[in-house]
Amino acid sequence: MARITCLAAAALALPGAALATPASEGPAPTTAAFSLSGAAPKACGLGTAGQSTLDIGEMVDASTGELAAISNPPSTSITGSWCNTASTVSVVATPLVAQSFAGQPPTGFTKAVNYTATVSAWSTNAAAFATNGNEAGVQRDTTPGSQPQPAPTATTIDVAVGSFAAPAASDFLVADTDYSGAITITLTPNS
């Protein structure tokens, strides 16, 4: 942005020099018209997440072997995000999947835990995506959740997770020290 302003100022100085020529020293001044135009492209920038990992901690209910009730999971914020035009915020996520468990889990067990990822504070309504993995962690629907923002915006985006659920309520979780999923957030200028 700063470079554009500098070049424009230099161009404007050219006709000014012609007008400064005194009338007594030569022919009457002539005029030259010129036009200026510029274009700022549509663009968005996403900042940095305060926490790159949201650690849910222990997920097993020790009394049942099923998914425990997970209350107050961690959240994070992405500061320094902006779009210089109307935009759309989108979110897609993958289930929490046991990374060390190879193959299909036995019947009655799951190696995946689903959740809902919510992105708020960018648009009027939060964009959300509910993972929909089966017991093996395979998702059938990866259509992102999206919400529009009609104005240029620069703000902090909040990212939260919740509504944790096993593919079937009666599923037992296979033991694993590393269940991992990922939330991907996208800001796109509207066309």
Partner 1 sequence: MNRLAWTSLGLSLSFAAGAAAAQQAAPPTVSVSGQAARLCRIGAPKVQVGSAVNLGAVDGQTINISSLADSATLSTKAISFDIDFDALCNFSHAVQLSSDRGGLWRVATGAASSATFADGVPYHATLVWAGTQSTLEASAASVAPKTQVLDVNSPAGGALVVQFRVDSGATDKGAGVPLAAGTYQDTLTVTLGPQ
Q: Using CB under 8 A, which residues numbered 21 to 80 contact partner 1?
A: 32-46, 48-49, 51-60, 62, 65, 76, 78
Residue 133 in 3-state DSSP? strand
Does the footprint of partner 1 cover residue 112 (CB under 8 A)?
A: no
Task: Report the alpha-carbon distance of residue 17 to residue 54 in Å, rounded.
Answer: 62
* Of 24 and 71, CB closest to partner 1: 71
Does the footprint of partner 1 cover residue 165 (CB under 8 A)?
A: no
What lies within 8 Å, CB to CB, of 92 at 6+ separation is 129, 142, 143, 144, 145, 183, 184
Per CB under 8 A, which of residues 122..151 are in contact with partner 1?
A: none
CB of residue 68 to partner 1, shortest distance in Å:
9
* Of 21 and 100, CB closest to partner 1: 100
* Contact status, residue 108 vs residue 172, Cβ threshold 8 Å: yes
Task: Report the alpha-carbon distance of residue 148 to residue 90 in Å, rounded.
Answer: 9
CB of residue 95 to partner 1, shortest distance in Å:
9
Interacting residue with partner 1 among 127, 129, 135, 185 (CB under 8 A): 185
CB of residue 24 to partner 1, shortest distance in Å:
27
Interacting residue with partner 1 among 132, 139, 163, 186 (CB under 8 A): 186
* Of 24 and 170, CB closest to partner 1: 170
Q: Can you say whether the dihedral through the CA atoms of 155, 161, 162, 168 is positive or negative? A: positive
In 3D, which of 157, 178, 177 has the Cα closest to residue 75?
157
How many residues at the interface with partner 1, by CB under 8 A?
72
* 89 CB-contact burial (10 Å; exposed 0-12 / middle 13-18 / buried 19+): buried
CB of residue 98 to partner 1, shortest distance in Å:
7
